[in-house]
Amino acid sequence: MCGIVGHFSTCASPADRSRIVERMCAALLHRGPDDGGLITKGPITLGIRRLAVIDPENGHQPWQSDDARFTLVFNGAILNFRELRAELEALGRSFRTDCDTEVLLAAFIHWGEACLPRLRGMFAFAVWDDQLQQLFLARDAFGIKPLYLRANPSGTDLWFASEIRALQQGCDDFTLDPQALCDTLAFLAVPAPRTLYREVLSLRPGEYARWKQGRLERVRYWDFSKRARTDAACRDATGFVTELRARLEDTVRAHLIADVPVGVFLSGGLDSALLAGLAARAVTRPLQTFSIGFAEAGYSESEQAAATARHLGCDHHATIVTAKRVASDLDRMLDAMDQPTGDALNTYYASELAARGGVKVVLSGLGADELFGSYPSFRQIPQLQRYQSLWRWMPRSLRRGVTGLTAGRSTRTQKMADVFAYANDRHDLAACSRRVWSTRSLRSLADGRVSAALHPGLAEMRASLNDADTFETISAWELQTYMSDVLLRDSDVMSMRHSLELRVPFADRPLVEWLWSQPSAWRNTPAQPKSALAAAGADVLPPGLAGRPKWGFTLPMNAWMRAELRPFLEDTFTAASVGQSGFFSVKEVQAQWQHFLRRDDARGWSRLWSLAVTIAFLNRRRSR
């Protein structure tokens, strides 16, 4: 796991580029404290900060081919690198290390962009071809690893980096994008390829790019319409559970590959318990597990997590997160953010605990909810679909009246206002389901500077899922929007802030593609979500865990924001602070804050928190 950077320029001297890339690398020291490297090849300078996980002694980067034509910088882990190496050796290639970096470059040299569907794991990498004077960049299918780009309009310069903060060390004049700010509040993140800044784009999950002669070409190599379709469907549901168990064991074994200690994030729920149970059987020493809890009993699963760890014989570490602790750490967490988010506090503290516990790699259960249908969207969207034809039949004047009645009420009914106003099919409903602020509220906050689009990726998602059923559609939306744009982005930023590599075995492309080759009814069990997952891991799970109701991971923020975190919020929502941010309506922000204080809306805290974090982030940016 690393931080990678690069600067191509036909104008800057090699010495100037080296100084720029050194500054960019320094901004990513937290991503790679073990090693660093820099190389200049003609018009490009590449740099890296390395967290040494696989073959620590021999994986120094940038990595060059034997003939010096190709140079690679790579962030991630290629989990099937040994299989790929054997395949390449059979074709006549030789290797001098046991490092995935060397195999990745050899695979790219041999297969070109066709290597990408062969790669298992998480990655963002760049390869410079000195002969063609071409830069190739790529990102894994689900966007587990980030990659940001900036090119100047004249085509003389291009910068790339694992974090935007590194780009800001390489070039000036970053302009905030008002629509992106509204998207941040609407979705807790700016959906790729856009970012908070007009000049910066994010390579999308499952996308590669070529930079040659001042032009950037981007190609989507993976989405659900391009998935591998080689797996046969199981004969029946029993066979599905049996094969699912084998696939889960396979993905856990693959994600344990490392030459450093590996642990597991453990909550009190099914997903992480199953990962921990399978991992504990695959390692020779007691598995280290890590969990966070809260003093507020209604929110904490600490006891359940500890009981699971005891059942599995794990070496368990736990910490209690309090409102006072969060208040004292807010500056550090805001500094860790590359772009604002209303999420990620839990990952920040769990990663801090794991890093202090001595592991360099940790597995997370992220992705199981999206694959096995345990989010509310899997229940609500089919219900809403049944009423859509009736809704469209109603006179427009009556529809406007219903929409108006819902718009000013609770968080839930405000979201429903968007459904009533804009949703015409299951894709529209899926796009609405993850909105945090309603379109009407955003227009008020931003003085009208926001479009009414449900999601910027709506057209592309609809096209890539034209043969999907309702369950598959919802699952794909959750995987490719909320998981990729919010959960994976925040997990990467907060884990790497603590120099920790976070791996997600459920977001494993071979596993996902196999699941998509099976009848969705075997995953879609509304009466008991994840029943197939529980059955597949029945022998490793603690007694009674499979039947325990899903809690969902929610912090006690509704109470904290009215007590220990209130001073931060009061300061952030002053007229001076909101005005300094340069974007939001002071009157509307303060009205929303007072509305939150007057009403006990358990769902409303995330809206206000995301707004406060965004304003604080903007003010820190302006004060630098």
User: Is 547 a member of any domain?
Assistant: no
- The domain that contains 90 carries what CATH number? 3.60.20.10
* Strand ranges (E), 326-453: 361-363
Closest among 621, 393, 287, 345 to 493, alpha carbons compared: 345
Residue among 60, 53, 18, 58 at smallest CA distance from 35: 60
Residue 586 neighbours by CB distance under 10 Å:
15
Burial class (CB in 10 A: 0-12, 13-18, 19+), 215: exposed
In which band, very low, low, confident or very high, does the pLDDT at 530 lie, cut at 50, 70 and 90? very high
Whichever domain contains 511, its CATH number is 3.40.50.620
Predicted confidence (pLDDT) per residue in 247-289, tens digit: 999 999 999 999 999 999 999 889 999 999 999 999 999 999 9
134 and 96 in one domain? yes
Do 121 and 184 fall into the same domain? yes
Taking the C-alpha atoms of residue 102 and residue 360, their distance in angstroms, rounded to an integer, is: 21
Domain identity same for 406 and 311 = no
Residue 588 pLDDT grade (very low, low, confident, very high; cuts 50, 70, 90): very high
Is the Cα dihedral 593, 598, 602, 604 positive or negative? negative
Q: How far apart are CA 116 and CA 140, in angstroms?
A: 8
**Is the pLDDT assigned to residue 92 strictly greater than 90?**
yes
How far is it, in rounded angstroms, from Cα 432 to Cα 455? Answer: 8
Q: What is the mean pLDDT of residues 599-608?
A: 80
Q: Is residue 232 part of a domain?
A: no
Please tell me the distance from the alpha carbon of residue 586 to that of residue 582, in angstroms, as a whole number: 10
pLDDT reported for residue 397: 63
pLDDT at 116: 98
Residue 480 lies in a domain: no
What is the structure's pLDDT at 392?
Answer: 63
Mean pLDDT of 572-593: 94
So what's the pLDDT on residue 398?
63
Mean pLDDT across 213-226: 95
What was the pLDDT predicted at 602?
66
Coil vs helix vs strand at 50 = strand
Report d(CA 349, CA 355) in Å as an integer. 10
Q: What distance in Å separates the CA atoms of residue 59 and residue 53, rounded to the nearest whole number?
A: 9
- Average pLDDT on 512-523 reads 96
C-alpha distances out from residue 624 to 168, 172, 411, 486, Å: 12, 13, 35, 26
pLDDT of the residue at 516: 96
Q: What local confidence, expressed as pLDDT, does residue 452 receive?
A: 61
Q: Residues 308, 252: one domain?
A: yes
- Region 113-139: what's the mean pLDDT? 98
Residues 395 and 302 grouped into a single domain: no
What is the domain range of residue 429? 377-474
The pLDDT, as a whole number, for residue 391 is 63
238 band by pLDDT with thresholds 50, 70 and 90:
very high
Domain assignment present for residue 231? The answer is no
For residues 145-171, give the mean pLDDT.
Answer: 96
Tell whether the model's pLDDT for residue 550 goes beyond 80: no
What is the per-residue pLDDT for 510? 97
What backbone phi and psi angles, to 5 degrees, belong to 134? -135, 140
Least confident stretch, 85-99, 107-121, 381-395, 512-526: 381-395
Q: Is residue 520 part of a domain?
A: yes
User: What average pLDDT score do residues 97-101 get?
Assistant: 96
Per-residue pLDDT reduced to its tens digit, 365-386: 999 999 999 999 999 999 888 8
- d(C-alpha 613, C-alpha 484), whole Å: 20
**Phi (first) and psi of residue 2, to 5 degrees:** -150, 180
Residue 123 — φ and ψ, nearest 5°? -165, 150
Kindly state whether residues 247 and 394 are assigned to the same domain.
no
pLDDT tens, position by position, 412-471: 666 676 777 777 889 988 988 888 888 888 888 987 776 666 888 999 999 999 889 999
Instruction: For residue 258, count other CB atoms closer than 10 A to its CB.
Output: 17
- Interval 302-319 mean pLDDT: 94
Determine contact, residues 488/144, Cβ cutoff 8 Å: yes
Q: Which of 95-109, 191-205, 405-419, 551-565 has the lowest mean pLDDT?
A: 405-419
| Entry pTM | 0.94
What is the maximum alpha-carbon separation in the chain?
Answer: 73
pLDDT score of 404 more than 90:
no
Evaluate if residue 552 carries a pLDDT over 70.
no
Quick check: helix, strand or coil at residue 83?
helix
Residue whose C-alpha is closest to residue 529's, from 503, 552, 507, 513: 552
Same structural domain for residues 144 and 242? Answer: no
Question: Which amino acid type is present at position 165?
Answer: R
User: Which residues, in sequence order, are CB contacts of 464 under 8 Å at separation 6+?
Assistant: 223, 224, 225, 226, 476
Mean pLDDT of the chain: 92
Tell whether 423 and 276 lie within a shared domain: no
140 and 41 within one domain: yes
Same-domain pairing of 170 and 193: yes
Instruction: Please indicate, yes or no, if residue 528 is contained in any of the structural domains.
Output: yes
Same domain? For 211 and 155 the reply is yes
Residue 345 is assigned to a structural domain of this protein: yes
Q: Crossing angle of helices 489-497/323-336, nearest 10°?
A: 100
149-159 b/e with 16+ CB inside 10 Å = b? bbbeeeeebbb
pLDDT at res. 59? 92
Into how many domains does the chain fold?
4
| pLDDT at residue number 431 | 87
Q: Are residues 179 and 241 in the same domain?
A: no
Sheet with 201-202, side-by-side order of all strands: 35-41, 44-50, 2-9, 157-161, 148-151, 201-202
Burial of 380: CB neighbours in 10 Å, binned 0-12, 13-18, 19+: middle
The DSSP secondary structure of 535-587, one letter per residue, reads: HHTTTTSPTTSTTSPP-----SHHHHTTTTTHHHHHHHTSHHHHHHHTSS-HH
What's the burial of 531, exposed, middle or buried (CB within 10 Å: 0-12/13-18/19+)? Answer: middle
Closest to 255 (Cα-Cα) out of 280, 290, 279: 279
Q: Residue 513: what residue type? A: E
Indicate whether 131 pLDDT > 90: yes
Under a CB-based contact definition with an 8 Å cutoff, are residues 208 and 113 in contact?
yes
What does the pLDDT average to over 561-584? 95
Q: Does the residue 335 lie in any domain?
A: yes
